[in-house]
Homo-oligomer: A and B are copies of this chain.
Amino acid sequence: MTMSEIKVLSSGGVTGTIGFVAGAARGGIKTEGNDVGLIACERHFARAAAVFTRNQVKAAPVLVSARHAAGEFVAGIVFSAGNANCCTGERGTENARRMCELAAAKIGCRPHEILVCSTGIIGHQLPMDKVEDGISKIQLTRGDETDQAVARASMTTDTVPKHFAAQREIDGKMVTVGGQAKGVGMIGPDMAPLAAQSTWHATMLAFLTTDAQVEKTRLQSTLERIVERTFNSVTVDGDTSTNDSCFLLAGGQSGVEINDANQMEFDELLESVCVELAKKVARDGEGATKLVTIEVAGAATESDAKKIALTIANSPLVKTAIFGRDPNWGRLAMAAGRAGVVFDAGKLSIQLGDVEVFRNGEPTNFDLHAAEAAMQPPDLTIKVLMGEGEASWRAWTCDFSYDYVKINAEYHT
């Protein structure tokens, strides 16, 4: 079995999956465009898996969704953009619950069968009249235009909608995973299930649908495993949001049940969708001019490799050098060294694209023009080889530009 058996849907998202419909409308929370959305399982009894931000300050919808995701079935996901409903106290919780009621009334299920998300500014109450007005106008449909509209409705400072779908045959039948994501700033997701956390709050939102049939415990562990390798390995600024949420709804309409024998095939399919969405998030990072993939290999453990990859991916000095297209491998060595992982710097090697600039702790006699040329492409891969073992990890980031400062110094309270 090879990854090449996975077929990318030419255009697709959450309704690329059989059995799901969605819609978006404008309530008026954002200054322009649609700002509320709804994704629904037509059968009303999808299995749901969810992970939420590990941030100790958790938004009201995170708390409400965590409770609802624990139930037997979930019928849909409602979301709003422009206001995070975070640090809003009891009234915030009531408003998140009210969003579930509105969505439930719309699709004909019970309020606790709805998952809810919000994204936007922290510390302001949701304008519920606008939210209600928006949700009342939503029309549930399917297709490419719907997928794009629903992905677009969740955007805040995002510049492009992010959606993707892929399918593969499992046990002789076609299984699809569709998804959408939003988030370009306050991006350093670190999501885990609520039960594994001590307290709560998230702004990368990712919604995934599949027509595979998956038992609830299996669905949750699958999502956790794949999120760790994808969304939890993407960063723009390392600032883990109070609202980050990722939901996976499994409707089962394909008739293919996931079991120990075909789990890996399903993992690969789900990961292919999450990787694409994670890369879209990094590529659209606030002010980004480049998508940067950091590959760390030869580490003693996966945990070590992940720490090193994310420390490099979050280093302001690395990110500004990449913006300046400077083959400044010294900053890469510095960032690897400050990751809190013990290693022998004398075994460290670094490649910029295909150019090896550092080998076993010393600079190679590389051609500066080749190294400079390696820094030019809009998609850049940096490889760090530790020489300590066989574990590897991949992280995605973007460069740090004047526009990042502009966007975040001018986005006023």
Query: Which A residues have a C-beta under 8 Å from some C-beta of B?
Result: 54-58, 84, 86-89, 121-123, 185-186, 188, 190, 198-201, 237-242, 315-317, 320-321, 323-324, 326-331, 333-339, 341-345, 348, 358, 361-363, 368, 371, 400-402, 404-406, 408-413
Residue with the greatest number of chain B CB neighbours at <10 A, chosen from A239, A329, A338: A338
By beta carbon, the residue of chain B nearest A413 is B328
Q: Which residues of B contact A348 (CB under 8 A)?
A: 57
**Which of these, B186, B342, B406, B409, contacts A334 with CB under 8 Å?**
B186
User: In the complex, are the beta carbons of B316 and A404 less than 8 A apart?
Assistant: yes
A-B contact pairs, 7 of them (CB 8 A): A56-B343, A56-B345, A186-B334, A239-B334, A240-B334, A317-B408, A320-B405
Q: Which residues of B contact A333 (CB under 8 A)?
A: 57, 87, 122-123, 242
Q: Which residues of B contact A237 (CB under 8 A)?
A: 315-317
Closest CB of chain B to A90's CB: distance in Å?
A: 9
**Which of these, B57, B88, B201, B334, contacts A57 with CB under 8 Å?**
B334
**Which of these, B186, B324, B330, contacts A122 with CB under 8 Å?**
B330
Q: A56-B342, A324-B410 are in contact. List 20 more A-B contacts (CB 8 A).
A: A56-B345, A57-B334, A58-B337, A84-B330, A86-B330, A87-B330, A87-B361, A200-B345, A237-B315, A239-B335, A240-B337, A241-B334, A242-B334, A316-B316, A324-B412, A329-B413, A330-B413, A400-B405, A401-B405, A402-B405
With the chains together, A241 CA to B345 CA distance in Å? 14
With the chains together, A199 CA to B185 CA distance in Å? 35
